[in-house]
Amino acid sequence: MLHRYEQTEAVVPFFSLGVHPGACGTWDRYNDRTLMKWVRAITWLFDSERGTRDRLVPRWLFLRALGLIYFSAFFSLVFQIRGLIGPQGILPASEYLAAVSHALGRGRALWYAPTLLWLAGGPHMLIAICWVGMAASLLLLLNLWPRGTLAICFICFLSFVSAAQDFSGYQSDGMLLEAGFIALFFAPRGLRPGFGVASPPSRASLFLLQWEWFRIYFESGVAKIIGGDPEWRHFTAMDEYYQNGPLPTWVGWYVQHLPHWFHASSAFATLALELVVVWMLFLPRRWRIFCFFIVTPWELGIILTANYTFLNYLVLTLGFLLLDDRFLLRFLPLRWKKSFIVGQTDGAEAQASEIEFRDTPEIPSILEPPRQGQGQASVGLRESFKIAKLTFTSVALAWIFYATTAQLIWMFSTLPLPTEPVAALDPFRIANRYGLFGIMTRGRYEIEFQGSEDGKNWVPYPFRYKPQELAKPPGIYAPYQPRFDWNLWFASLGSWQDYPIVPRAEVHLLSNDKDVLALFASNPFPHEPPREVRAVIWQYWFTTMAEKRTTGRWWRREYIGLYAPTLEREADGTIRGVEWPTAGPRE
C-alpha cells in the first residue's frame, strides 16, 4: 500500500516547495519522519489504545467512587431543586434563562448557560434531571457503560449548575464537573469493560486528573499566602476554624477545644501540605505512594470535622490516582487478581501485535491493520472516525490544560497570555482555578427566619442542618449538600442587598409555598401562612466543656438584630416592608 504522501507527490509542483527537484525525495522523507514523530507523540499522549497499562485498578476505584459522588450530588438535589430553582422556587431557573436570552440573544445564551432546562423548566423536568442523573451514577458504580453514564451524569449536573445561579457558586461544583468531564476520556470503552484491559487510560487524561488534584491543593495554599490574611502568617487560622465553618460537626466541636499548639501545628501543616508535599506527584513512584498516605488521613480528618459536601470525598478519590496496579494488586481478592492478570496478559499481547504492525514506516500509527473481508470504504470510514476522535480528544484535553495552567500562572504574574480560550470554557466549569480558605472567617453568624400572626410573638422556622437549637449536636451530613443552608452561611457574612435569596425566601414563606417550605425541617404555620415574616441574625459560639457538662448545650448565641426587611402580606395579597434592618456589618 502506498504511503498517502507518496500518492500526492506527482501532483505537487517542485517550485511550490522551494527546493531543487533532485532534493525532493530527501525533503519528503524528512517531512514524513517529522510528521510520524508528531503523530506518534499525539497517539502516545491522547490515544487510550496506547495508554498506560499500570493504572487499571486505580482507574477502576476512581470511577466507582466518582459514581458514588455523582449519586450524592443528585440525591441531595431531589429534595431541594424545586425549592431552589423551580417555578415557585427562590431563584426560578426559567426566569434566569429568560433574562439571559434577552440580554445575549438565544445563540450566545445557549453557550453562556449550557443546560437542558432550555427545553423545559418546570418541576417535572427538574426532577427528571435528578432521577436520570442518579440512575446513570448507579450504572457507573456498577461499571456498566462507563463512558455513556459519565456523559449523562455530566450533562445532568451541568444542566443544574448552569441554571442554579447563587445556589451553584461553589468550588466543589466546578471540581466535580472538571473531574467528570476529563473522566469521559479516562474511562474504558464498552458496555461491561471490567478493569478495561483492552482500553487502558490515556496518559493525557490521567495527568489532567492528577493535575486537578495538585491544583486543588497548591492553588489553595497560594491563595492563603497571597490573600494577605494575617491569621495564616501567625498560625492562628485554625483557632476557631471548626466553629466558624459552614456546617460544623460534633467531632469538630471536640477538636476545637484542643490546646492552641495543636491548632498552630495544624495551620503550619496545612500550608506545608498544600505548598510542598503535593509536589511529590511529580517525583518517582515511591514518593507518590508516600504522598498518598499523607493526604488520605488528612482528608479523612477534614471529612469528620467539617461538612464540605462532596468536596473532600472528591479530593480523596482523585488521590487514588497516585497509586498504581503493582501496589494495589496485593489488596485485590484472589479471584479478581487472577482474572486481572489473565486480562493484562491477553491485552498486552494484543497491543504488542497491533503496535508491531502499526510501527512500520509506511503506515501512520493511528491506523489499524485491515481485517480480512473488509472493504476499502469500510477501512477508510473507520480510519476517518479514529482520526476525528483522536483530534477531538487532543484539542479538548490540551485546551483544558492551557486554561488551567494559565489561571495558575496568573496567580503569580500578569503574564499576557490569551484569555479567550479560558473565558470560552467558563460556562462549562471544566477548567477552574481553586483557592480554599484564603481568608478565614472570624465569627459565626446564623440567619433565622421567623413568622408571626400578630407582629409581636415570633416563631422560628426550624432548619434541618445548620446550627439553630442550642442543645442539638452538630451532625455529619457530607457528602449530602443542603444548598439553602450553605448559602445562608455566606449571606450571614454580607448584607441582604447582596443576597436576594433571603427576602425572596421571606416572600415565599408568606404564602406557605410548599416547595420552599421543603427546605426547612417543618412548617410552624401549617394551617395558614403567617401575617409577617422576618429574618434575624445571631452570633454563635461553641460552648466550653464546662458549659456543656452543666447545661448540655453545644452552642451559645447572642442576638444581633434584624438582617432583612420584615415583610407583611396585606389582605389583597400585596407585600410591603414594615421594618428595616438594624444589624450592622459583620467581620
Lowest mean pLDDT among 125-134, 314-323, 337-346: 337-346
Average pLDDT over residues 367-390: 70
Give the type of residue at 82.
Answer: R
Higher pLDDT, 384 or 337: 384
What whole-number distance in Å separates Cα of residue 287 and Cα of residue 395?
31
- The CA distance from 233 to 225, in Å, is 8
Instruction: List the grid coordinates of 466.
Output: 445548620
Average pLDDT over every residue of 567-576: 90
By the 8 A CB rule, do 86 and 129 touch?
no
What gap in Å lies between CA 496 and CA 216, rounded to an integer?
Answer: 31
Question: Once rounded to an integer, what is the mean pLDDT over residues 25-48?
Answer: 75
Nearest by Cα to 437 from 232, 172, 174, 167: 232
What one-letter code names the amino acid at 552? Answer: G
Is the predicted pLDDT of residue 215 greater than 70, yes or no? yes
pLDDT of 351: 52
Confidence grade of residue 374 (pLDDT, cut at 50, 70, 90): low
C-alpha cell recorded at residue 535: 429574618
pTM for the full predicted model: 0.90
pLDDT at 356 over 70: no
The 3-state DSSP class for residue 509 equals helix
Angstrom distance (rounded) from CA 348 to CA 355 = 10
Within 10 angstroms of residue 34's Cβ, the number of other Cβ atoms is 10
User: What number of CA atoms fall less than 13 Å from residue 341's CA on the CB side?
Assistant: 10
Give the percent of the chain with pLDDT over 70.
87
Question: Residue 29's pLDDT band (boundaries 50, 70, 90)?
Answer: low
Residue 355 has pLDDT above 50, yes or no: no
User: How do the residues of the chain divide into helix, strand and coil, expressed in percent and rounded to 5?
Assistant: 60, 5, 35
Q: What pLDDT is attached to residue 383?
A: 81
With 80 as the cut, is the pLDDT of residue 177 above it?
yes
User: What would the pLDDT profile of 225-283 be if each residue is shown by its tens digit?
Assistant: 999 899 999 999 999 999 999 999 999 999 999 999 999 999 999 999 999 999 999 99
> How does pLDDT run across 422-443, given as a tens digit for each residue?
999 999 999 999 999 999 998 9
Q: Are 248 and 275 in contact (CB under 8 A)?
A: no
Task: Write down the pLDDT at residue 43.
Answer: 87
Cβ density class 337-360: b for 16+ within 10 Å, e for less: eeebeebbeebeeebeeeeeebee
Give me 515's grid cell: 416547595
Q: Where are the domains of the chain?
A: 4-46, 49-330, 332-365, 444-579
List, as one string, the DSSP characters of 80-101. Answer: THHHHHSTTSSS-HHHHHHHHH
What pLDDT, on a 0 to 100 scale, did the predictor assign at position 518? Answer: 96
User: CA geometry: angle at 97 spanning 95 and 101, to 5°?
Assistant: 120
Mean pLDDT over all residues of the chain? 89
pLDDT, tens only, 272-304: 999 999 999 999 999 999 999 999 999 999 999
Among 51-55, 112-116, 425-429, 531-535, which stretch is predicted with the lowest mean pLDDT? 51-55
Is pLDDT larger for residue 182 or for residue 22?
Answer: 182
**By the 8 A CB rule, do 538 and 584 touch?**
no
pLDDT at 480 (0 to 100): 96
